[in-house]
Amino acid sequence: MTQTSRPVTAPRRDAVLDTASPAARSLAPPPRSAAVVNAEIRALWCAGGRLAEERRGEYEALLTEWSAALRAEVVTAA
């Protein structure tokens, strides 16, 4: 008896992204838009023209959030 092999395919993107349990997804806050995060980044810089060393971690976290929000908005638009 011979077995036919099927080509191996990558899992669907939506299946990979939807691995969290419904309870975990409901506890997570909704993602903020890139525009909202960008406004918060601008506020950090406008508060004195220089970024205080103790605010650098906050700034880096906002940049990461902004980048993810921007990518999500581009994927949604496509």
pLDDT single digits (tens) 16-69: 445 556 665 667 777 899 999 999 999 988 877 788 889 999 999 999 999 999
Q: What is the pLDDT of residue 50?
A: 84
Q: Where are the beta strands (DSSP E) in the chain?
A: none
Higher pLDDT, 49 or 15: 49
pTM: 0.58
State residue 28's pLDDT score: 72
Q: What is the pLDDT of residue 16?
A: 42
CB 51 within 8 A of CB 59: yes
Domain ranges of the chain: 31-77
Give yes or no for a contact between 51 and 45, defined as CB atoms under 8 angstroms apart: yes
Number of helices (H), then strands (E), belonging to the chain: the values are: 4, 0
